[in-house]
Amino acid sequence: MDSMIRFDEYLAHLAAGLGHADREAGLRGYCSGLMLPLARKSVEPMAAHLDPLHASARHQALHHFVAKADWSDTELLRRVARWVLPTVDLSAGGYWLVDDTGFPKKGRHSVGVARQYCGVLGKQDNCQVAVSVSLACEQASLPVAWRLYLPREWAEDAGRRRKAGVPEDVRFATKPQIALSQLRALLEAGEPHHCVVADAGYGVDSAFRQGLTAMGLPYVVGITSVVRVWPPGQQPLPPKPWTGKGRPPVATRRSPEHRPLSVKKLAQSLPPEVFTELTWRQGTNEPLSGRFAAVRVRIAGSVSAKQRLHPQQWLLIEWPPTQAEPTRYWLSTLEEDTPLSELVRIAHLRWRIERDYQDLKQDLGLGHYEGRGWRGFHHHASLSIAAYGFLLGQRLRREAISGPDGQGKKNLMACTVPALPADYRPRARPARAAARGGLDHDVASPTGCLPDA
């Protein structure tokens, strides 16, 4: 089927969830603009290239659609997923990938902007951060939930909230708490209980891990080297004997001679023969491989908290032979008979969400929104994901017929950019530049004096 015909069908499928039929034009224009080969995909340049002769009117229409119109981001992303899912092979298992991404920003008025860690820059800086959940398999991945992280300074500032249009029910939540709420909403909507994969920014949060288990979601999550565990075959001392008064003690105990270890110390205590060289996938230039070990451990919680005996789970360790110490660690609640190769493969699936962010930002303008409001930020992201979903579905359909050919998603539709009129000027510049060739460069007369006759 011709790509443009399928694109029309796709837009009709999405438009049915926008609430009003007259919003389909905005949807079509915005998604089409995001797929144009433009350097900047904010509203103004997209409008100018979509309709050069009526750029101002198109700009107003697109701005209203993305920043003002009251349609549901959740419903749009649900419809995007429903379109793409038939092309995705989940027979070998599906996974929920949890992550966040940053958008460097100047000033302080754009919703959620604050000085915080920005993964794009690799340091603390002024930025916005959004948390996402993606559905992934070996073939591909697609973001299905997206929400801006609202720092506490924003969440507790009524004036800034009002100006940015932050909904009343949005309160401060950590990134792991946002991710848990996104996953909970997906399960309540009937989605499967896939394994959750996340990096150490989420995995070190014990409440996040416990929340996943409470929802019946297995996980493979990164942790840092300082997380403490009980080594294989060890566990905390049992609770103190009950004296017969009050409630029976439930808190486990430690002693100076019987204490947990950091995962780094545990890894360094393992014999070399425990580690195995494994390849987890084919990279761009060569197979990706490493040296891994997996052991069964119990998490050791906070000393101050009343600790119960935690169930055993996997500790996966990556220790490259060229390094003096292990470089990465994961915890996993997958079954006890899960092969080491499977643990390694799933742990490294997180690269897919990084590829999602790269494509969405570089090719589909995810970070180009210039508005300041909550609604516009989320609408723009949802529409970028919608454009990404169509191109992803096209690629998967073609590969199902002819196999992979190495062509990128951005090359699937031939996009022609209309030429701008010769007199077009962006709004930030004057409509006509002042003529400078005939300027009089003579020194001005002193104030209050007339020139000599």
pLDDT, tens digit, 9 for 90 and up, residues 92-117: 889 999 999 999 998 889 999 999 99
Q: Which of 69-78, 155-164, 428-437, 441-450 has the lowest mean pLDDT?
A: 441-450
Q: What is the pLDDT of residue 78?
A: 97
Residue predicted with more confidence, 49 or 452 = 49
Q: Are 376 and 64 in contact (CB under 8 A)?
A: no
Mean pLDDT taken over the chain: 87
* 188: pLDDT strictly greater than 90: yes
Q: Is residue 82 domain-resident? A: yes
Q: Is residue 333 domain-resident? A: yes
Pairing mode, strands 95-104 and 195-198: parallel
Position of tokens 């799933």? 346
Total domains, the chain: 1
* 416: pLDDT strictly greater than 70: no
* 439: pLDDT strictly greater than 60: no
- Could you tell me the residue range of the domain that residue 305 belongs to? 3-235+258-411
Q: Is residue 425 domain-resident? A: no
Mean pLDDT for 339-355 is 94
Q: What is the pLDDT of residue 242?
A: 75
Q: How many CB atoms lie within 10 A of CB 11?
A: 18
CA distance 96 to 218: 10
Q: What is the pLDDT of residue 255?
A: 64
- Name the strand (E) or helix (H) holding 442: none
What CATH number corresponds to the domain at position 170? 3.90.350.10
The pLDDT confidence band at residue 237, using thresholds 50, 70 and 90, is low
Q: What is the pLDDT of residue 442?
A: 42
Q: Is residue 242 domain-resident? A: no
32 CB-contact burial (10 Å; exposed 0-12 / middle 13-18 / buried 19+): middle
Angle at 298 between CA 294 and CA 302, to 5 degrees: 130
* 423: pLDDT strictly greater than 60: no
* 424: pLDDT strictly greater than 70: no
Residues counted in the chain: 453
Q: Is residue 323 domain-resident? A: yes
For 114-149, the pLDDT digits (tens) are 999 998 888 999 999 999 999 999 889 999 999 999
What tokens does 89 get?
């092979």
Q: What is the DSSP string of 217-237?
A: --EEEEE-TT-EEEPTT--PB
Q: Are 118 and 125 in contact (CB under 8 A)?
A: yes
* 450: pLDDT strictly greater than 50: no
CA distance 409 to 363: 9
Q: Is residue 196 domain-resident? A: yes
CA distance 128 to 380: 14
Mean pLDDT for 177-204 is 97
What tokens does 262 get?
């950091």
* 373: pLDDT strictly greater than 50: yes
Q: What is the DSSP string of 24-65?
A: HHHHHHHHHHHTS--S--SHHHHHHHH-GGGHHHHHHHHHHH
* 453: pLDDT strictly greater than 80: no
Q: Is residue 252 domain-resident? A: no
Torsion of CA 99, 103, 109, 114, to 10 degrees: 60
Q: What is the pLDDT of residue 449?
A: 39
The pLDDT confidence band at residue 247, using thresholds 50, 70 and 90, is confident
Q: Is residue 105 domain-resident? A: yes
The pLDDT confidence band at residue 412, using thresholds 50, 70 and 90, is very low
